[in-house]
Amino acid sequence: MVKLANPLYTEWILEAIQKIKRQKQRPSEERICHAVATSHGLDKKTVLEQLDLSVHDGSILKVTNKGSASYKDPGNPGRVGSILPANASVPSKESIWNSSDLRHIDWNKIIRRAIEGLDDTHGSSLKNIERYLRNQDDLSDIIDNPAFRQRLRLAAKRSVNNGRLLKNGPRYKLSHGSMDGRSPRCPSASPLVLSSVTLLPHERDQ
């Protein structure tokens, strides 16, 4: 779909939405216009016009609650209650996997599927994980999203931090504790200790 809104103006509007939310306020048209005008000097008429176009092309979500409209960043919608894409009247199954909605994907499951599919004893690099996922037909909506690579990188980093994945250099492996609910071989071992096991060949070189 051809984007109608000016990408730069859309970016400014998204910045304004985040700024307003940080101030614990509702991102209404009035507040967005004021924030963009203050930061970038754009007049109200242009902001409203670009806001409308951004909603139409899916870059920004419009949410109506009790007759008042507010706007959200599709990549960071916050609470997902009454959020509906501007062009959808009824939420469909597809909208759950909507390409603009990568935050609601179970990334742990997707990364695990890729690592198990690659089945590399030395672990899999992020590049190989990405390549594997791009070949999965049922993930086409996700991988077509321009933010896919960035979200995948972030998800891998989080999985390492919470112990689901072990990282050795550029390669990722499944943590023993995350597989089939089995506990690690040594109950007291932390993910950090487990990752040192994969460094044995490297230590042997030294």
Query: How does pLDDT run across 47-80, given as a tens digit for each residue?
Result: 999 999 999 888 899 888 878 889 998 877 655 4
One-letter amino acid at 159 equals: S
Please list the residues that pair with 168 across neighbouring strands. 171
**Three-class SS of residue 25?**
coil
Q: Do the beta carbons of residue 101 and residue 74 sit within 8 Å? A: yes
Question: Using one digit for the tens of pLDDT, what is the confidence trace for 34-47?
Answer: 999 999 999 999 99
Quote the CA–CA distance of 115 and 122 in Å, as a whole number: 11
Q: In 10 A of CB 27, how many CB atoms?
A: 24
pTM to 2 decimals? 0.38
Q: At what angle do helices 44-56 and 29-40 cross, to 10 degrees?
A: 120
Radius of gyration of the chain from its Cα atoms, rounded to whole angstroms: 22
CA angle 123, 125, 129 (to 5 degrees): 100
* Exposure string for 95-119, b = 16+ CB within 10 A, e = fewer: eebbbbbbeebebbebbbbbbeeee
pLDDT at 117 over 70: yes
| 189 within 8 A of 157, measured Cβ to Cβ | no
Q: Span 161-182, mean pLDDT?
A: 76
> Residue 17 above 90 pLDDT?
yes
118-146: pLDDT as tens digits: 988 889 999 899 889 888 888 877 877 77
Residue 3 pLDDT greater than 80, yes or no: no
* pLDDT confidence bin for 86, thresholds 50/70/90: very low
Query: DSSP for 34-95?
Result: HHHHHHH---HHHHHHHHHHHHHTTSSEEEEETTEEEEEBTTB--S-SS---TT-SS--HHH
Residue type, 179: M
Res 102: pLDDT: 62
d(CA 200, CA 169): 13
